Amino acid sequence: MKPVFTGVHSVNWYLKYVGLPITVGVAIYALFTQIANKRRRAALRGKVVVITGASSGIGEALAHAFYDEGSKVVLAARRKTELERVKKDLQSKKLSIPAQEPVCIELDLADLDHLEDFTQKVYSACGCIDILINNGGISHRGNILHSKMEVFKQIMTINYFGSVALTKAILPKMVEKKSGHIVFISSVQGLIAIPDRAAYAASKHAIQAFGDSLRAEMHQHNVNVTMVSPGYIVTAISLNALSPSGEKHGVMDTSTASGFTPEYTAEKILNSVVRKENDLIVSQFVPKLAIFIRHFAPSIYHYIMKKRANPTKLSEK
């Protein structure tokens, strides 16, 4: 009897019976994903989307992405002039669908007592909030031994308590309406911690935990929660980071400079939000591998991190 699989075939055979079906399959899948995403994106028209940290970087790119889909974007951050610049940039675009006028509202996430007032301002301007994107945040550079306690407090206040307070201020109306979506822009450093970023990694780990609890509690109220963990993205994050004494770090890190663009990142986030995904990691391969190693081979992870933190390497930086 002739065996079904003889072992060796010509290149043409492989192209025809393996290459072609795979290519066609992938193309059809890509096409359907595109069509499905486009349909889901249509649901964003007229939706009120509050974006914190919309004056720069990922938040600014998110403002463009949601504005392009016809959402009413609320741009929030401390620098009013930068928010107005973003608004002007948005309004100078030509959309093929009706555009919603962006709203700029000043917001300081460190000012925990005034986040309720901020929420009221959004309601007066837009009536409701459909999606909250907790994106505003700040990083730092420096080891635990030499960083001031003030830096730890400030990072935790802005990255964690600020997002918690804002989320809490906005939740009651979402629960009442039985619809809504809370998005957190955490970080790969919300899943693994590296040396010289203790305060930042701790604040992002905290928000990941908060998000998981929130998702479970909100299920009965039909409110969705998406946790986004970006890797390296080209933004001003390292320029705006705090030094061990709490001053501006003011240096563009090479790892950040060679990261993904904010526009690419915002596209990924938008697709994840319309699909109401629980988690999204937007990252290069190495940070993803690091997350894997931390969980499945922790001793290797700790070894690499000790190397990374060694003082000779630090003094070169």
Ligand X SMILES: NC(=O)c1ccc[n+]([C@@H]2O[C@H](COP(=O)([O-])OP(=O)(O)OC[C@H]3O[C@@H](n4cnc5c(N)ncnc54)[C@H](OP(=O)(O)O)[C@@H]3O)[C@@H](O)[C@H]2O)c1
Which residues of this protein are in contact with ligand X, per CB under 6 A? Answer: 52-53, 55-59, 77-79, 82, 107-110, 135-139, 158, 185, 187, 230, 232-233, 235-237, 240, 256, 259
Active site residue 200: yes
Minimum distance between the CB of residue 167 and ligand X, rounded to whole angstroms? 14
Query: Residue 233 touches which of ligand X, ligand NAG, none (CB < 5 to 8 A by kind)?
Result: ligand X
Check binding of 276 to ligand NAG (CB under 6 A).
yes
Beta bridge partners of 52: 76
Q: Which is nearer to ligand NAG, 225 or 237 (CB)?
A: 225
Q: How long a stretch of residues is the chain?
A: 317
CB of 161 to ligand X, least distance (A): 11
Residue 308 binds to ligand NAG (criterion: CB under 6 A):
no
Nearest approach in angstroms of CB 222 to ligand NAG is 5
Amino acid at 158: I
Shortest distance, CB of residue 275 to ligand NAG, whole angstroms? 6
53 binds, among ligand NAG, ligand X, none (CB under 5 to 8 A by kind): ligand X
Q: How far apart are CA 60 and CA 51, in angstroms?
A: 9
Q: How far is the CB of 219 from ligand X (least distance, A)?
A: 25
- 150 vs 217, which CB is nearer to ligand NAG? 217
Closest separation in Å from C-beta 163 to ligand X: 9
Minimum CB distance to ligand NAG smaller for 55 or for 226: 226
276 makes contact, choosing from ligand NAG, ligand X, none, with CB < 5 to 8 Å by partner type, with ligand NAG
- Partner in contact with 219, chosen from ligand NAG, ligand X, none, beta carbon below 5 to 8 Å by kind: ligand NAG
The reply to whether 45 sits near ligand NAG by the rule CB under 6 A is: no
Give 179 or 254: the residue with its C-beta nearer to ligand X.
254
Among 33, 213, 222, 254, binds ligand NAG (CB under 6 A): 222
Give the whole-angstrom CA distance, residue 131 versus residue 90. 19
Interior/surface letters 52-85, b for 16+ CB within 10 angstroms, e for the rest = bbbbbbbbbbbbbbbbbbbbbbbbbbeeeebbeb
Q: What does the alpha-carbon distance between residue 94 and residue 1 come to, in Å, rounded to a whole number?
A: 68
Q: Helices 57-68 and 80-91 sit at what angle, rounded to 10 degrees?
A: 30
Q: Interface with ligand NAG includes 219 (CB under 6 A)?
A: yes
- Nearest to ligand X by Cβ — which residue? 57
Tokens standing for residue 298: 């922790």
Cβ atoms of 242 and 140 within 8 Å: the answer is yes
Q: Which residues pair with 228 in a beta bridge?
A: 185, 280
Site for ligand NAG in 101-160 (CB under 6 A): none
Stretch of 39-47, 111-119, 217-225, 245-253 contacting ligand NAG, by CB under 6 A: 217-225
Catalytic residue, chosen from 17, 67, 123, 200, is 200
Which region among 7-15, 43-51, 191-199, 218-226 touches ligand NAG (by CB under 6 A)?
Answer: 218-226
Tracing tokens 């609890």 back to the chain, one arrives at: 213
Nearer to ligand NAG, 141 or 181 (CB): 181
Q: Is the dihedral of CA 231, 64, 55, 122 positive or negative?
A: negative
**Catalytic sites, residue numbers:** 200
